[in-house]
Amino acid sequence: MEGDAGAPLEEEEIALMEDYLAEIKNYMIPAGKDAVTESGVFDYDIEGTYVTPLIMGGDCAFINFTKGIAWCSIEKAYEEGKIPFQKPVSCHLYPVRLAKIGQSEAVNYHRWQICDVALEKGTKEGVPLYVFLKEALIRRYGKDWYGKLVEEIENRDH
């Protein structure tokens, strides 16, 4: 919702977003549609990475709001059965961010004050971040990887 660049994108996600843009646009605000018309479904960050375009350097072009709550137009189109993919995996994983380190990929928690309310809720309800992100982590790394993560965390705590 805030930041100096949009959400990171994979090349395959760009192709899907382009293929289903007409359906996604039905859920976008006018300024988001304008941003996509101007730059397409992706832009580049300062490192040359593919990212979602921003509305005049602010919110993601795919953002929308209901009663002051932000939601993703891509995900809404998916939830309503209009498109076959949920949203970019980087968005699905947030507040975890991925970073390339040589041939490996680091999985890092990104602390940001706009997520504080969600973290408080997770703490209150006893839902750790890796459990909240289960679906997204499995989507990215597979069930075996997630199972090993859970085993590692549970063994660490004993």
What is residue 2's predicted lDDT score, i.e. its pLDDT? 52
Q: Strands (DSSP E) along 102-145, which ranges? A: 104-109
What pLDDT, on the 0 to 100 scale, is given for residue 30? Answer: 95
Q: Are 112 and 57 in the same domain?
A: no
Sign of CA dihedral 6, 30, 79, 121: positive
Per-residue pLDDT tens digits for 18-72: 999 999 999 999 999 999 998 899 998 888 889 999 998 788 999 998 887 888 9
Domain that holds residue 77: 1-93
77, 85 Cβ separation under 8 angstroms: no
Domain match, 13 and 82 both: yes
80 in the same domain as 155: no
Q: Does residue 81 register a pLDDT over 60? A: yes
The whole-model pTM stands at: 0.81
Domain count, the chain: 2
Q: Does 144 share its domain with 158?
A: yes
The amino acid at residue 83 is I
35 and 63 assigned to the same domain = yes
CA angle 112, 140, 133 (to 5 degrees): 45
Residue type for position 158: H
Indicate if 4 and 73 belong to the same structural domain: yes
